[in-house]
Amino acid sequence: LKTLASGVLKGDRVSISKAISSIEDRDENSRDLMSELYPRTGRALIVGITGPPGTGKSSLVNELAKVYRSKGKTVAILAVDPSSPISGGAILGDRVRMLDHSLDSGVYIRSMASRGDEGGLSRAARNAIRVLDAAGYDIVIVETVGIGQAEVEIVSVADLVIVVLMPELGDEVQAVKAGLMEIADIFAVNKSDLPGADKVIYNLHSILNSHDSSSQVALKVSAKTGMGIEELANKIDEFQKGEKTELRGKRKMKNLADELVRNVALNLFENAEARLKNDPQFKEIVAKVGERKLDPESATDLLVERLVDYSK
């Protein structure tokens, strides 16, 4: 294990991959691994990238990585795919484009499933970001698809969030008002080589102005033509140096507290599940609910009481 942790700390790619797999599987080493690596985290800039499907997030990430490489910075990309089978295929397709970097040792790319049962960004993804941070990458880009919880939770791990949009998204840009609006530090309107980009920027500005969100910016970019990518990287640098850092620090403590509560709940759930499934009384209670002699909420109360009894 010491070897695996020190491999990660040296930036050895095989060690990093093994470490992330260990965390994904939550095998017997993962816990010790995290306690060895965690003290060495906190150096990387964590950039979250999210947005609706089809906006070209992966291509944009790809181009952004190229800009950083040209500046001599190392980049790790963690692509968090929804577990949903429906969008799975398309995302896998995007991933293929990333092969551009496959021979560059300064870029590490990994995709992970966002486990559906937890809803949102998984515990494993949070720890994988820490592995990449400890491995010494200058920039860790976390890419999630903007559906459900994962996109909003990206803000709880990232130093900076980029929401990717595109022209002619229609209703979806409207919907941005409701949810993605608050989490974005930068709106990147990708595919701005297509018509309609100015309209999206105009709409965004009018929304931003009505919210008095003076620190948020909207940029036209195109992963295809390379337009605006350098400017996007510069904006990221500005944010990193900017006065928002202190605010981020405070928010990070809150995020950490939330993460711990979630972890605790997940552990309690796993314990509860294992204990209940071995408890003959559990089967009897389920049978009673099946026969409608007991309702599910009262049954839940009975079971919670039993679990509290176990721990005595």
Among positions 53-92, residues that touch a copy of itself (CB under 8 A) are 82-90
Does 286 sit near a copy of itself (CB under 8 A)? yes
- Could you tell me if 186 and 162 are in contact, meaning their C-beta atoms sit under 8 angstroms apart? yes
Cα(284)–Cα(279) distance, integer angstroms: 9
Residue with Cβ nearer a copy of itself (93 or 226): 93
CA end-to-end span of the chain: 35
Q: Which stretch binds a copy of itself (CB under 8 A): 9-17, 72-80, 208-216, 276-284?
A: 276-284
> Residue 144 is inside which H or E element, if any?
strand 139-144
- Could you tell me if 259 and 126 are in contact, meaning their C-beta atoms sit under 8 angstroms apart? yes
Site for a copy of itself in 183-242 (CB under 8 A): none
Give me the least distance between CB of 233 and a copy of itself, in Å please: 26
Which one among 2, 72, 105, 253 touches a copy of itself, defined by CB under 8 A? 253
Residue with Cβ nearer a copy of itself (11 or 51): 51
Which one among 174, 206, 209, 245 touches a copy of itself, defined by CB under 8 A? 174
HSE-CB at 196 with a 13 A cutoff on CA atoms is: 10
Give me the least distance between CB of 213 and a copy of itself, in Å please: 16
Give me the least distance between CB of 103 and a copy of itself, in Å please: 29
Site for a copy of itself in 99-138 (CB under 8 A): 116-120, 126-127
- Could you tell me if 185 and 240 are in contact, meaning their C-beta atoms sit under 8 angstroms apart? no
What are the beta bridge partners of residue 218?
187
Does 245 sit near a copy of itself (CB under 8 A)? no
- What dihedral angle (degrees, nearest 10) is formed by the CA atoms of 230, 53, 263, 44? -10
Give me the least distance between CB of 90 and a copy of itself, in Å please: 5
User: Are β-strands 217-220 and 186-189 bridged in parallel, bridged antiparallel, or unpaired?
Assistant: parallel
Give me the least distance between CB of 23 and a copy of itself, in Å please: 10
